Structure 1
Amino acid sequence: MDAALGAPEKMAEHSDELTPMMRQYFELCRQYDDSMVLFQVGDFYETFCEAAERCSRILEITLTQREDNTGTYPMAGIPIDNAESYIEALLDAGYRVAVADQVQDPADASGVVERAVTRVVTPGTLTEDELLHGDDNNFVASLAHDEGYGLAILDVSTGDFYATTVETASEVRNEVERFAPTEAIVAPALDPDSAASDGATDTQTPDVFDADCMVTEYAGATFDIDGASELVADYFGPPDRLLATDAEIRACGALLSYAEYVRGGEGVTEDDTDDTDTRLDYLNHLTRYDPRSYMLLDAVALTSLELFSSRAVHGQDDATLVGVLDETACALGSRKLTDWLRRPLLERDRIEARLDAVEEWTTTVQAREEVHELLRNVYDIERLISRVSRGRANARDLRSLKATLDVVPDIAEAMEGVESPKLRRLHENLDEMADVRDRIGRAIPEEPPIEITEGGVIKSGYDDELDDLRETERSGKAWIDDLEASERERTGIGSLKVGYNQVHGYYIEVTDPNLDKVPEDYTRRQTLKNSERFYTPELKEREDEIVRAEQRADELEYDLFCEVREAVAEESERVQSLAETLAELDTLVALAEVAAKHGYSRPEIVPEGIEIRNGRHPVVERTQSSFVPNDTRLDHDTLAVITGPNMAGKSTYMRQVALITILAQVGSFVPADEARLELVDRVFTRVGASDDIAGGRSTFMVEMTELADILGNATDRSLILLDEVGRGTSTTDGFAIARSVTEHVHDEIGAKTLFATHHHDLTAVADDLPNAINLHFGATERDGEVVFDHHISEGATMASYGVEVAQLAGVPESVIRRSKDLLAEDEGDSVDEGTCLRDADPSDSAPQSPPVTSASNDVLAELRRTNVADTTPLEALQLLDRLKRELD
């Protein structure tokens, strides 16, 4: 982003000639040179010069002009009442936004009205409901390096705060992909474009942060260990009791500093001191976690398994794992469910505790449904309490908090008698917060106005002084209401009216024909076209009395409201603890709802292997009218080669095994009649075709990069899904890669592996490798049409039915006929991917060997010497290209 958002050079050169207001604007632009400054002028936020031209284009608003003693320059503004929608557009365009409000009453200003930046709006620090997208977390990350990478993750809107340390940048990427931050800050010494190179200087190495994440070098002083330690201690106590490494302390301290900065500080410099006005008092918990305590799902796995987003183009936005599981009743539970899916457990005791709770809810139907219904009345109190603590909550927010607290006793009553340890603990943690509920109930009316400065936000009976002022106001207005009738009777002027306007106050209006009847005690206040307006000493006295009472009452109401809000803010830790309890409870109830509705069963965690009876894909079974369940049996180190026709269900089958495994480790029941599952440390996927044209990577290069990650990081506790490895190159090259990968996974890694392929000759590994087996999906031809049975069986198949699937897809008939002719000519002479012989014996399907030459012997020798695990994707491609040229 271009940082030149402030004054143009020619105006900076003549800064002495600028008007006081424009000097003020450009000084704020200088202080916040990384942001678009929105400068309040009356009821609008204005921008000037180059910033105005950019805003005009981005926001599609009219570009006007301002003229003063320095000349004429562009100006563009947005209405304050509708500012959030425009701010969102600026964020989408890649800008930070510094909001400079008038912090002085214009009536009190002797010169230019004082303005200050009251908040900096950035993609990762949003707190406004209008800007936050749905109930999902919105994280900002901080990355520091000090004998390892320290990573801190914060959701400013909820107070969720996490920290960890990892050794390599690839591990940083994995953790970043768990949380998907929308923004990140890094120390200046840590180049954001080369952070993934593990100390190397290769700037072409992909960044650890997603392309949509705004990455910024932040003030280096904030990453210093002394300052960072002091700030962490100020919030959470001694950092060495919470955090494990200096890198974590640096990352957390810098992130806290940044969160304070965007709240409206004066920017961060080497000499910054603590500003209590920017402190985030609702940040009460910092969770340090070890990535090894959770199953790792990297970005490739998240995408190919469609946990949170669907790659389909048929418009079914809910065709994701989280979409089919989300029966949560409130925003708290929805976020918690996402968090659990993002970080499946590796500790059996924690998994069993969740499963016990889900099982109890599935059997106690009436209690479950009652709790589920009550949870629908729970507001997003995590975000509510953060607004309360920041002083941005209105009276309706406090009533929403009370409405949530009102339902807690009912939830506790419905949970009486729960038996599982986790549900008992949640029941015990249901803090009814009667003191907070009572205070809000006594102070705030049931349906308060949105504005908190114009009265009506404090109940009658809460404060005696306020009640007296309101009574004075009411009695005065009642006196004025009676004045019109009494003055008509006294003066004999039947058309006399008593009215009020904001400029002149209360008046008595008499039309011109009746002016001769005006009493002597009337004093003229205003002359109109056909009438005169007057006041009397008594009216003026009452008016002054009403105005004084009204103004004082409004001020007192605001002060009383702020007192209530501050008192509630002091209980933020209790509110957040209650929010965590309600979130877990909602998630467990939702998992039980899904299990009961869709026939899920409790999985059994076993020491080794995967055994599933009648397993189903949790998403596909919901989106299709019929689904064929399948069994799975994999020993601890089994490698299964899966063959079968296109469209038979190989990819769906592999994904369902992975999803059932993930669900079990989340603590959920699974879509199967029975499931006995070994704990898995990672799920690796090489499924589907994709490219990275912008990054200069072909489909095959992306495939090889993903494959290299699997071969370099999988363990014997991993689950690996491989689909059509080697299809992006020639059949010979592809088969060679597929075979060598199979052998490497079997011999060197020993992970449970499902390998779907159209290289039918790969099925021979079942004879050569002791832990390899063959599985296949079958199909039959009826009257020229292919019928898939979608059922997996032992053994291999040699049919792909690629031409028939092309026909089903609508490929022109002429192309289909020609394909069948070519296939008939080729049968018996070659074995090609996707067009293998029907009903052939696997033993007769060995690949046709090329003539043996000295060059081919040299190539074979070099291939045997090559260590695939130590070869980068680029080196592998270069090696294949060179060897192919030698053979040619």
Structure 2
Amino acid sequence: MDTALGPPEKMVERREDLTPMMAQYYDLCAQYDDSLVLFQVGDFYEAFCGAAETVARQCEVTLTKREDSTGQYAMAGLPIDNAESYVERLLEAGYRVAVADQVEDPEETTGVVERAVTRILTPGTLTEDELLDGDRNNYVGALATGDVHALAVLDVSTGDFYATSVENADGIRDELGRFDPTEAILGPNVAATQLPDGCTVSSFGEDPFEEKQAHELVESYVGSVEGLLASTAEIRACGALLSYAEYVRGGVDDRLDYLNHLTRYDPHEYMLLDAVAVRSLELFERRTVHGDESNTLAAVLDKTASAPGRRTLDDWLRRPLIEREAIVERHDAVGELRDSVSMREGIYDQLRTVYDIERLISRIARGRANARDLRSLKATLDVVPRIRQELAESSCGKLNSLRDELDTLDEVRTLIEQSVCDNPDKEITTGGIIKPSYNDDLARLRETEQDGKSWIDDLEASERERTGIDSLKVGQNSVHGYYIEVTDTNLDSVPDDYERRQTLKNAERYYTPELKEREGEILRAEQRADELEYELFCSVRTEVADESERIQAVADSLAELDVLVSFATVAAEHDYTRPVVGTAPSDSPAEGTLTVDGIHIENGRHPVVERTEESFVPNGTMLDSDDQIAVVTGPNMSGKSTYMRQVALIVILAQAGSFVPAESARLQIVDRLFTRVGASDDIAGGRSTFMMEMTELADILDHATDQSLVLLDEVGRGTSTVDGFAIAQAVTEQMHDEIGALTLFATHHHDLTGIAESLDNAHNRYFRTQQDEDGVSFEHAVERGTADASYGVEVAATAGVNQSVVDRAREVLDEQAGRAETEPSEHHGTAGRTSLNGHSGSTTTEPKQQPLHGADDEEPTDDGNGKRLNADLQQALIEADIATMTPLEAMNKLANLQQVVETNRRNTDPNPSNSS
């Protein structure tokens, strides 16, 4: 066990001998043995023994010692006023932190002050603003398995609560990619390998996943689950997650009554973007060493005015729609807001003044809100009538619907306005938070208090006049209360009714019976008024919390409106156009439904790159049933990857409800978007870059449909040229013949262009490049046809590679070109083309074909009627142990056999010019 967790070993043997405070600490450590306990002692949170060493090391604070009658203990403390910054370090280091607060007033307690764990801080259940990213949801997930695989996710700080289920573990991994939880709990038989990188696995036991217990807990929050949740696995996941959310409250008022709405969704209601696609398309984070959110799709679209709006934008990009009617509704709203500048700017100006209403109501419902939070809520709700007015002239169905959903909550606003002070104190137990006019008893108490203080204010002047002592002062302190102070030089003039209260170095302090009586009245009125204010505040807070569901509905509508305004602003400022979206013809749409065959984009632009490049070259795209696959060639730096990502981002934007950066766009609704773009590895998991590439490729081949969009970039580059080309060809043929997905395939296997020409529904596209004595210039324009070279050496020179290395590389290329001239070669119609190294020369050589049976076997030849070839093929297939082959080995084997047949066909074809 980690020495920071569990009861300190030094104390285990002598629990009964410990001082009362240390025994309390020991018991809390034993009760929360999976957490690092921070124990309040005055103004600090303290940790002892091994926990102290951990805190000192992780938080970089001084390690000290505590000594009492039972021994000496290591100790480290964190100031309570600045505890959040230190807690964040502990969470990042993987610790779960249990905060043990003093739950008694030390001034009113005899003996040791009682302490209790009031909250457990974990990465996925944070509610403290200081520890949260206001622009992002912070989800904790629960996974359960049964007949299906179920996922539940919850943002404890906002109340967002979702559940779904899929048939297999791969599907759950994809759904986790949508939400990117920071923490998860796992039910029985669920493997942690399903979780995304950076997600903390927290132990919570199996009992909370038990069906009956989970069922009862879920229904206590959201009512009957009949017709809401689709499987017992979903019920178990939701119940365990709610139980965990209650657990981290530390057992103090652990109900989360604001969690009253659970959304169950079907994964097929949204375009699937798995974690690989989200990462490679840089939707939220750039693929750099340190990461960067400034040049991402989310960043360039973010013109939102509020934190809920920014979180909703994130959600819409993670879950693009696939229902045409819902997409068109959003486009209608964006179009009207783009065209109506006054409406758009008026709504934005109002939204700028709102607070984070989702997290406000969460704090209010959890009893952690102060009076300032209630005033912030009231200020936010005051915006609603003004936004409704801005939308009064709207003719769009979506905007009219949002306007009708914006509940003005007049009674809540009136309650807060009448009860809570305009500028309340931050503390809620010391008065100054409730208006005296709100309660008659409070008004009388404050009047009594004020009358007494006014009498005291007048006392100094009256006593100076009565005693003739001009230096006489009336004051007050927390120890001795009110007093009359007279210097030693004037003691002879002190009246007989003065009673000594305190002696100072050069003065005496007195009180009179009347002053003491007034003091008692003031203190009693003040104390009772402060207590009454706290009681009244708690009552008001509870009344507001009772309207949590209505307030959350308003928050949802405001956030949705915020994103639509953001989309419209981006469209207006950056010349985005409305896309035409339709159902794929193969989807058997209902009569009257608009259908669109494929993806047709005119002068499309990359929404991120165009913001960073001084001159961005737009490019068109045409993928449909006749041109299903585009093999894209061109040198490095020519723009292939940017172009492919550009197409994917335009599709995502359109289905999220945004206009798109293009002159025009007609888009088939895509069910899934797959990417095999860029290099990555998993060294810790024992997977090389090539293995990661093949794993991603296998997922695409297993799950892509004829309504999917697939981006493939340099498939097969992590292995030998022969193997890489074989894989690339097999994948292209599989996409064309079996899957039918719209596919962009960027490659440096220029021989693949010959394959594209031989397939009915494939075509070649390439990026124009110019080369002269000054080097290579990239035009970044794509058109039909094939590239004549890769210009790898020229790109290396442009990148600043040492000139001697560049020169030697050119010599090697010239040597290879010379050898190629002496070796006859026919390969996929490449005869007569410029060689792939970028220099003029003869054709490229054909990759050496491996024999069918083994290294010592002769390559089969035709005996005049093909019998020997057929026999060898049959034997090779018989000997292939398909049951034990990996998918990659199977593809290589198939490619090998195909190439043998093709070689034989060319060798026996009486008209070689027919070869293609």
What's the CA shift for 1:839?
7.7
Q: What does residue 246 of structure 2 align with?
A: 260
Q: What does residue 368 of structure 1 align with?
A: 344
Q: What does residue 752 of structure 1 align with?
A: 742
1:122 maps to amino acid: T
Q: What does residue 279 of structure 1 align with?
A: 255
Does the C-alpha gap of structure 1 residues 98 and 629 become closer, same or farther in structure 2, counting only changes over 3 Å? same
Work out which of the residue numbers 656, 679, 682 in structure 2 matches 1:689.
Answer: 679
1:686 maps to amino acid: R
Does the C-alpha gap of structure 1 residues 650 and 874 become closer, same or farther in structure 2, counting only changes over 3 Å? closer
Q: What does residue 99 of structure 2 align with?
A: 99
Do 1:708 and 1:872's aligned partners in 2 also have CA atoms closer than 8 Å? no
Do 2:378 and 2:416's aligned partners in 1 also have CA atoms closer than 8 Å? yes
What's the CA shift for 1:784?
2.9
**Aligned equivalents of 1:237, 1:542: Cα separation in 2:** 56
Does the C-alpha gap of structure 1 residues 867 and 504 become closer, same or farther in structure 2, counting only changes over 3 Å? farther
Work out which of the residue numbers 609, 615, 628 in structure 2 matches 1:626.
Answer: 615
Q: What does residue 652 of structure 1 align with?
A: 642
The 3-state SS of whatever aligns with 1:484 is helix
What's the CA shift for 1:851?
8.6
Do 1:828 and 1:837's aligned partners in 2 also have CA atoms closer than 8 Å? no
What's the CA shift for 1:210?
2.3
What's the CA shift for 1:191?
4.8
Q: What does residue 863 of structure 2 align with?
A: none
Q: What does residue 190 of structure 1 align with?
A: 189
1:600 correspondence with 2:576: yes
Structure 1 range deviating more: 415-424 or 288-297: 415-424
**Aligned equivalents of 2:788, 2:499: Cα separation in 1:** 107
What does residue range 107-186 of structure 1 map to in structure 2 within 5 Å? Answer: 107-186=107-186
TM-score (norm 2): 0.90
1:177 maps to amino acid: G
What does residue range 451-600 of structure 1 map to in structure 2 within 5 Å? Answer: 451-600=427-576
Do 1:192 and 1:215's aligned partners in 2 also have CA atoms closer than 8 Å? no
Deviation sequence 1:193-226 (CA, Å, 0-9, x none): 4xxxxxxxxxxxxx11123211123132211111
What's the CA shift for 1:492?
2.1
1:532 maps to amino acid: E
2:802 maps to amino acid: P
Do 2:430 and 2:530's aligned partners in 1 also have CA atoms closer than 8 Å? yes
What's the CA shift for 1:36?
1.0
Work out which of the residue numbers 195, 204, 218 in structure 2 matches 1:209.
Answer: 195
1:798 correspondence with 2:788: yes
**Aligned equivalents of 1:872, 1:130: Cα separation in 2:** 49
1:807 correspondence with 2:792: no
What's the CA shift for 1:111?
2.9
Work out which of the residue numbers 242, 246, 253 in structure 1 matches 2:228.
Answer: 242
Does the C-alpha gap of structure 1 residues 592 and 457 become closer, same or farther in structure 2, counting only changes over 3 Å? same
What's the CA shift for 1:879?
8.2
1:132 maps to amino acid: L
Q: What does residue 869 of structure 2 align with?
A: none
1:380 correspondence with 2:356: yes
**Aligned equivalents of 1:371, 1:708: Cα separation in 2:** 47
**Aligned equivalents of 1:33, 1:601: Cα separation in 2:** 58
Q: What does residue 316 of structure 2 align with?
A: 340
Deviation sequence 1:447-472 (CA, Å, 0-9, x none): 22211111111124222221221121
Question: Alignment RMSD, CA only?
Answer: 2.6
What does residue range 766-781 of structure 1 map to in structure 2 within 5 Å? Answer: 766-781=756-771
Do 1:798 and 1:837's aligned partners in 2 also have CA atoms closer than 8 Å? no
Structure 1 range deviating more: 478-487 or 174-183: 478-487
Q: What does residue 590 of structure 2 align with?
A: none
The 3-state SS of whatever aligns with 1:721 is strand
1:165 maps to amino acid: S
The 3-state SS of whatever aligns with 2:227 is helix
**Aligned equivalents of 1:782, 1:867: Cα separation in 2:** 53
**Aligned equivalents of 2:136, 2:82: Cα separation in 1:** 24
The 3-state SS of whatever aligns with 1:217 is coil
**Aligned equivalents of 2:360, 2:416: Cα separation in 1:** 14
The 3-state SS of whatever aligns with 2:194 is coil
**Aligned equivalents of 1:869, 1:418: Cα separation in 2:** 63
Does the C-alpha gap of structure 1 residues 242 and 841 become closer, same or farther in structure 2, counting only changes over 3 Å? farther
**Aligned equivalents of 1:813, 1:343: Cα separation in 2:** 49
**Identical pairs, percent:** 63
What's the CA shift for 1:619?
0.5
2:381 maps to amino acid: L
1:83 maps to amino acid: A
Does the C-alpha gap of structure 1 residues 157 and 848 become closer, same or farther in structure 2, counting only changes over 3 Å? closer
What's the CA shift for 1:372?
1.5
Deviation sequence 1:64-84 (CA, Å, 0-9, x none): 212222211111111222222
What's the CA shift for 1:416?
0.8
1:673 correspondence with 2:649: no
Structure 1 range deviating more: 818-827 or 307-316: 307-316
Query: Which segments of 5 or more consecutive residues in structure 2 lack a partner in the other structure?
Result: 585-596, 860-871, 898-916
Q: What does residue 199 of structure 1 align with?
A: none
The 3-state SS of whatever aligns with 1:480 is helix
The 3-state SS of whatever aligns with 2:46 is strand
Do 1:3 and 1:34's aligned partners in 2 also have CA atoms closer than 8 Å? no
What's the CA shift for 1:877?
11
What's the CA shift for 1:828?
5.4
1:423 correspondence with 2:409: no
TM-score (norm 1): 0.93
**Aligned equivalents of 2:876, 2:526: Cα separation in 1:** 90
Q: What does residue 11 of structure 1 align with?
A: 11
2:197 maps to amino acid: A
Do 2:605 and 2:646's aligned partners in 1 also have CA atoms closer than 8 Å? yes
Does the C-alpha gap of structure 1 residues 159 and 867 become closer, same or farther in structure 2, counting only changes over 3 Å? farther
**Aligned equivalents of 1:190, 1:358: Cα separation in 2:** 46
Work out which of the residue numbers 392, 395, 399 in structure 1 matches 2:375.
Answer: 399
**Aligned equivalents of 2:881, 2:399: Cα separation in 1:** 52
What's the CA shift for 1:852?
6.4
Tell me how many residue pairs correspond in the alignment: 858
What does residue range 834-853 of structure 1 map to in structure 2 within 5 Å? Answer: 836-838=836-838, 844-845=843-844, 847-849=846-848
What's the CA shift for 1:432?
0.7
Q: What does residue 855 of structure 1 align with?
A: 854
2:698 maps to amino acid: A
Deviation sequence 1:158-189 (CA, Å, 0-9, x none): 000000111211111111111000111112x2
Does the C-alpha gap of structure 1 residues 86 and 786 become closer, same or farther in structure 2, counting only changes over 3 Å? same
What's the CA shift for 1:312?
4.3
The 3-state SS of whatever aligns with 1:278 is coil
Structure 1 range deviating more: 401-410 or 442-451: 442-451
**Aligned equivalents of 1:251, 1:851: Cα separation in 2:** 52
Work out which of the residue numbers 303, 324, 328 in structure 2 matches 1:352.
Answer: 328
**Aligned equivalents of 2:524, 2:876: Cα separation in 1:** 93
**Aligned equivalents of 1:824, 1:748: Cα separation in 2:** 41
**Aligned equivalents of 1:734, 1:801: Cα separation in 2:** 20
Do 2:730 and 2:891's aligned partners in 1 also have CA atoms closer than 8 Å? no
Structure 1 range deviating more: 329-338 or 485-494: 485-494
**Aligned equivalents of 1:780, 1:703: Cα separation in 2:** 32
Does the C-alpha gap of structure 1 residues 137 and 31 become closer, same or farther in structure 2, counting only changes over 3 Å? same
Q: What does residue 269 of structure 1 align with?
A: none
Q: What does residue 707 of structure 1 align with?
A: 697
**Aligned equivalents of 2:476, 2:569: Cα separation in 1:** 60
Does the C-alpha gap of structure 1 residues 597 and 872 become closer, same or farther in structure 2, counting only changes over 3 Å? farther
**Aligned equivalents of 1:119, 1:413: Cα separation in 2:** 43
Structure 1 range deviating more: 78-87 or 750-759: 78-87
Do 1:101 and 1:118's aligned partners in 2 also have CA atoms closer than 8 Å? yes
The 3-state SS of whatever aligns with 1:227 is helix
The 3-state SS of whatever aligns with 1:503 is coil
**Aligned equivalents of 2:291, 2:104: Cα separation in 1:** 51
What's the CA shift for 1:840?
6.7
Work out which of the residue numbers 331, 341, 365 in structure 2 matches 1:389.
Answer: 365
